[in-house]
Amino acid sequence: MLTRFVSSWRAFFRDPILPFGVVSFFLLIALSIVPAKDRFSEWRRYQQQYLRLIHNRGDAVALQRHFQGGIRQIWLPELAVADRCQTCHAGLAEASLVHAGTQPFRGHPVIPHRLDEFGCVICHRGQGAATTVAEAHYSPLAPEEPLLPARYLEASCGQCHHVALPGTPKLNEGRDLLARYGCLRCHTVRLPDGSRMTATDNPQPLNHIAAKTTREWIYAWLQSPSAYSASATMPDYQMSEEDARDISAFLIADSEPLPGSPLPTPTTSKSAPDIAAGAKLYRESFCASCHAIRDAAGNLAGGDPGPQLSPTLSQEPGPELTRIGSKVKPAWLQAWFEDPRTYNSHTLMPRYRWTPQQLKILSAYVASRTDLELLAHVHLEPATAQQIANGKALVIEYGCAACHEIRGISRPEAYAPELSRVGSKPFAQLVFIAGMEKTLPAYLNGKIRHPQAFGPGLRMPQYNFTSGQADALTTALLSLTDRSFTLPSRLQIPAQPGTTYQPAGHAGKLMAELNCLACHRINGRGGDMAPDLSSEGSAVQHNWLDAFLKNPYTLRPTLIQHMPNFNLSGAERAELTGYFMTVYQNPDIDRDAMPITGYSPSLVEQGRQLFYSKYACQSCHVVNRQQDKASIGPALNGIGSRLNAEWIYRWLKNPQALRPGTIDPNQNVSDADASALTAFLMAQKDSGVREAKQ
């Protein structure tokens, strides 16, 4: 065999021309593979299809002139991005192809960024340097950077923008849920500017829990928070009966009496409290602005209006009160209504200054909201020392002190993984369950919806998020990427920093007692449930503000959220009115620059015609209650007794300059039209003040 091979080898190489020719032939074939592969490449086929698509269009000449064949690349060295997406997406920059039905040739919708400055992968992710669909959209060599599913696309906006944007409702909601559902009390989220995302929920302290409720209720609550309140933000830890028994035993045993005077003993009288009168007081105090009650049909009425688009995300509302009578003790409830800060110094609920009789009837009405079935089958034996000790160990194990203040237990540090860069979590660190798509978005969404499916020993509890909420949370988490920390500073839009503003003097103490900043924003601090008061002294008239504080009324009758009556004395109203009119002014507005009265009838009539015809203001606002039917904007009847003329004039000229984010459009009103409209609106007198006095 070897002899035959050697003889063949010698025969083949006897003539040098023959081996040279054979080797050259195979080399030529090898060299032809590259141009042949390029000639029949996927991207070239897409470009040929694009040219055929535009050939018979009316704008074919312009589209062909714009077309550039070959591989097209956007190189962004500052962002370390090489983007070749437009090689296949040839019509991406063509506005006339936005509605084209064929991909990848559809034009990109209008966005606030230029394609040549940001490319595609900054937003859509994927492999920008690839030139095949498989490698660009999902490369097995880099599985942690697949193309981002369309429903999570807003996550990429969050890499640069750390503030709420009008065009990113899902991202805004996801960030809001992270803050409101306690996620940030276990997980740390650091932002590129060095700050941290902070929680906006308000977990109750448990130091005095025995004064508030019973061990039986705690047991039932730990077993299933949603059984007591479907809107509960506390997750379900799926505790065993033994764990719930021991934790409830510890919390009651560890509870200490409230400081100061003891809780009042409910008075006994021959006649029962007037529940109907309590319900009337509940409505008049606008408790439904923060608290919801579920009706017989199972629908929630009142309470949380949902995430608000504002410089700060919406505040956590008050708890649902559907079954509150099965939870709290009557004495505690009455003491809470008298002064909420006695029990919880961080509560958002203000002190209403109700009379003893009002406290009695309101407590009776709220306590009547019960569910006899809730605790009907809860029967606990007296706690043993062993159960109490085991309960304390379980409280530490479950991390309860991450949210709640508990006597003798410190807040756990690094209780859960940091999420600052979870949107770039390496693929090798992901553990997928059976049947799950092997992508980071699918992993995050599955972990949010069914955390226990990833392992029975995991600490994360079960939340009752809807599919929409889970998508919103996934979007927020996908925005937390490595890239967000490496972007140049010119592209970073940091979150608006909070301020430590606090009203000063006697008025400041009164505002703290009323907790004005829970609803109103002043000088960059506060809530977003009610109007910003930073320029209130420039906007409103002194007499109207005093009358309004005496008896608040709503300017938007269709809203649930109304300002309650705090039963202020005349001296207190004068203190607050004087403080607002003096301190909260816009330095660019002279409120006395235009008169409150004295406008000519002809100018008022001209303004009326402009109001109803040219600018169609009645589409959103009511001036004449019998004639106008709008309910979107504030009612303007009586506005001449409420606002200053100069404020109205400036508002008509540019609403956004006075209240950034207002939905009132800038209609580019001329000076003459603004003066006429101001005259008409200032002629709408008295009704607002009369309603306030009544």
pLDDT in tens, 196-225: 999 988 898 999 999 999 999 999 999 999
Same domain, 327 and 221: yes
pLDDT in tens, 568-593: 999 999 999 999 999 999 999 999 99
Query: Would you say residue 156 lies in a domain?
Result: no
pLDDT > 70 in the chain, percent: 88
pLDDT the model gives residue 251? 96
Looking at residues 296-306, what average pLDDT do you find?
69
Could you tell me if 384 and 391 are in contact, meaning their C-beta atoms sit under 8 angstroms apart?
no
Query: Would you say residue 24 lies in a domain?
Result: no
CA distance 41 to 566: 75
pLDDT in tens, 374-409: 898 999 999 999 999 999 999 999 999 999 999 989
pLDDT in tens, 419-460: 999 999 988 888 899 889 989 999 999 999 999 898 877 889
pLDDT the model gives residue 622? 87
Query: Would you say residue 520 lies in a domain?
Result: no
pLDDT the model gives residue 285? 86
pLDDT the model gives residue 395? 95
Same domain, 302 and 189: no
Looking at residues 253-268, what average pLDDT do you find?
73
pLDDT at 688 over 70: no
Same domain, 461 and 328: no
pLDDT in tens, 615-664: 999 888 888 877 877 778 888 889 999 999 999 999 999 999 998 878 88
Query: Would you say residue 471 lies in a domain?
Result: yes
Same domain, 487 and 545: no
pLDDT-derived band at 10, boundaries 50, 70, 90: low
Query: Would you say residue 408 lies in a domain?
Result: no
Query: Would you say residue 557 lies in a domain?
Result: yes
Same domain, 549 and 662: yes
Q: How far apart are the first and last CA of the chain?
A: 118
Helices (H), 540-654: 542-550, 570-583, 601-609, 645-653
Same domain, 180 and 134: no
Could you tell me if 627 and 611 are in contact, meaning their C-beta atoms sit under 8 angstroms apart?
no
Last residue of a domain, one of 439, 470, 491: 491
Q: What total of structural domains would you count in the chain?
A: 4
CATH number at residue 183: 2.60.40.420
535-564 burial, b for 16+ CB within 10 Å, e for fewer?
bbbbbbbeebbbbbbbeebebeeeebbbbb
pLDDT-derived band at 414, boundaries 50, 70, 90: confident
Give the structural domain span for 674.
535-568+581-694
Question: 462 has which bridge partners?
Answer: 236
Same domain, 301 and 341: yes
pLDDT the model gives residue 304? 58
Same domain, 562 and 665: yes
What average pLDDT does the structure give for the chain?
Answer: 87
pLDDT-derived band at 98, boundaries 50, 70, 90: confident
Same domain, 90 and 130: yes
Same domain, 586 and 668: yes
Same domain, 337 and 219: yes
Query: Would you say residue 682 lies in a domain?
Result: yes
Query: Would you say residue 517 lies in a domain?
Result: no
Could you tell me if 565 and 615 are in contact, meaning their C-beta atoms sit under 8 angstroms apart?
no
Looking at residues 344-373, what average pLDDT do you find?
91
pLDDT the model gives residue 132? 87
Same domain, 98 and 59: yes
Q: What secondary structure does DSSP assign to 337-349, as a single string? A: HH-GGGT-TT-SP
CATH number at residue 213: 1.10.760.10
Q: What secondary structure does DSSP assign to 209-249, as a single string? A: HHHH--HHHHHHHHH-HHHH-TT--SPB----HHHHHHHHH
pLDDT the model gives residue 36? 54
pLDDT in tens, 11-69: 656 666 766 666 776 677 666 565 655 656 888 899 999 999 888 888 989 999 999 88
pLDDT-derived band at 313, boundaries 50, 70, 90: very low
* pTM: predicted TM-score of the whole model, two decimal places: 0.82
